[in-house]
Amino acid sequence: MSDQRPNILLFTTDQQRGDHLSIAGHPVIQTPNVDSFVNNGAYFPNAYSEIPSTTGARRILHSGKGNYYCGLIGYSGTEWHEPNTLAQVLADNGYHCINVGWRNMHPTRKLYGFHTVIPHDLREGNDDYMEWLRREIGPQAHERGHGCDANGWLARPWHLEERYHATNWTTEVTIEQLQKRDPTRPWFVWCSHLRPHSPYDPPQHFWDMYIDKQLPQPPIGDWAEKHNVDVPCPDRTAWQGRLPEELSHQSRAAYMATCTHLDFQLGYMLERLQREVTDINNTLIIFTSDHGDMMGDHYLHRKSYAYEGSARIPFVVKYPSNLDAPTGTFEHVVGLQDVMPTILDCIGIEAPVDMTGGSVLDAVRGKPWREFFHGEHSPCYDPDNGMQYLTDAKEKYIWFPTTGQEQLFDLVEDRQELHDLAADPANQDRVKLWRDRLIKLLGDRGDGFSDGEKLLLKPDGWGPEVE
């Protein structure tokens, strides 16, 4: 007799902004499939990435441990030795665990508890998508044959037939793997998409949906002029600076189109699974991303910042049919460390004792929840960009340890972070409140950012790995 516990679909994107869902109130973008989860689940508009770049964020996602406690506070391609990964705990409890798509976990083919790993990982010999593409089309085929960089802002329509796009491949292979699963076990699938991470290369249909639309202009804060660097021809992977208007429009339109392409592939996957694999209603589905993308906000590009475009992420849960919990939109501040506790809570598996996250089912049921949220990132594109941040979704406090600069934003009145309030004499009590919270939090860690009484500068920077 087969196990009747809920199946689990963790559907992740890479570098998707939290405001790039139509349910988030975006004036242009269309994401009808994930939006509909709110009817039988929960949407969290105040979700953040603890480490807003890929490797650290994925450690958090798969351990339920926040920044620092997962062993990283920035970007580093090192092997991870966590014994209680999400897949390992589920496998130990009888789940068939499958991973398809973009990983950025190291080494690329290390199982980390999964029974099957089929990676799309941008490395020769470790990218099953590229091997498939060359078998299908020929030895010269390449995912980036269109000329757009994997960390840049250039954009254009996908250069091959839509069915050859990596997003479509990840979806199809996920379905294929579920058709071949062990039918006596419940399954856990991490379907991990690289897009909307650059290259911004949606199929032509989705490009056409947005390229001629009037799009919102990137917000530019009254504090952001220092990032308005005067570069006549900005590098294709520039992390700061003003882009030419036409290129900026193409980049933002293609990014939105890629988000919609992903949403349509999610809908396609769910239809196929319902028809050919299993009763999808008995499945817990979590849709989220590892971090966002600045997309020119405040003259910044890419990620690793504390600002909304980079740190805020989508987080939507669809309940399995046997789960009785409140549905709708919930304002609690949640993060990637809450994914694993939520999954284990839903299916009744005891969580490892060292997790720092919590089940969002507690939040929706009105149980006590965190007062505020902490994130950080070591220096990445520039020594002065390393940061620490705190937010309760009403305010956000940012501290830059190399310079000592502080920023404070009122997210209720100013979600786009146009006005830095940190230097305003009228807000010094608020700045002190947040500073004192960070002093205590970092002082308890004992890693040199705080002595328990004051924040300590790190003018020479610091590395991404916890020592």
Residues 235, 247: Cα–Cα separation, whole Å:
12
- Reported as a single tens digit per residue, the pLDDT across 72-116 is 999 999 999 999 999 999 999 999 999 999 999 999 999 999 999
Q: How far apart, in whole angstroms, are the C-alpha atoms of residue 390 and residue 311? A: 11
Give me the residues paired with residue 1 across strands: none
In this structure, what token pair is assigned to residue 375? 């994130």
Domains of the chain: 7-372 (3.40.720.10), 375-445 (3.30.1120)
SS3 193: strand
The pLDDT score that the predictor gives to residue 124 is 79
Euclidean distance between CA atoms 158 and 461, whole angstroms: 39
Per run of 10 residues, the mean pLDDT along the chain (length 467 residues) is 86 98 98 98 98 98 98 96 98 98 95 98 89 97 95 97 98 97 96 98 98 97 94 88 95 98 98 90 97 98 98 98 96 98 97 96 98 98 97 98 98 98 98 98 96 97 94
Q: What is the pLDDT of residue 279?
A: 83
Q: How many residues does the chain have?
A: 467
What are the backbone angles phi and psi of residue 13, rounded to the nearest 5°?
A: -115, 170
- How wide is the angle at C-alpha 348 spanned by C-alphas 190 and 62, nearest 5°? 30
pLDDT number for residue 199: 97
**pLDDT tens per residue across span 187-228:** 999 999 999 999 999 999 999 999 999 999 999 999 999 999
Cβ neighbours of 23 (radius 10 Å): 18
The predicted-structure confidence for 237-249, as pLDDT tens digits, reads as follows: 999 999 999 999 9
Give 370-410 as a DSSP string.
-S-EEEEE---SSGGG-EEEEE-SSEEEEE-TTT--EEEEE
Token pair 């934003």 is found at 409
Sequence-distant (≥ 6) Cβ neighbours of residue 378 within 8 angstroms: 73, 74, 75, 386, 461, 462, 463, 464
Amino acid identity, residue 188?
F
Longest dimension (CA), the chain: 68
Q: How many CB atoms lie within 10 A of CB 226?
A: 10
Are 306 and 375 a contacting pair, CB within 8 Å? yes
| Nearest-angstrom CA–CA distance, 66 and 56 | 9
Give dist(CA 90, CA 352) in Å, integer.
12
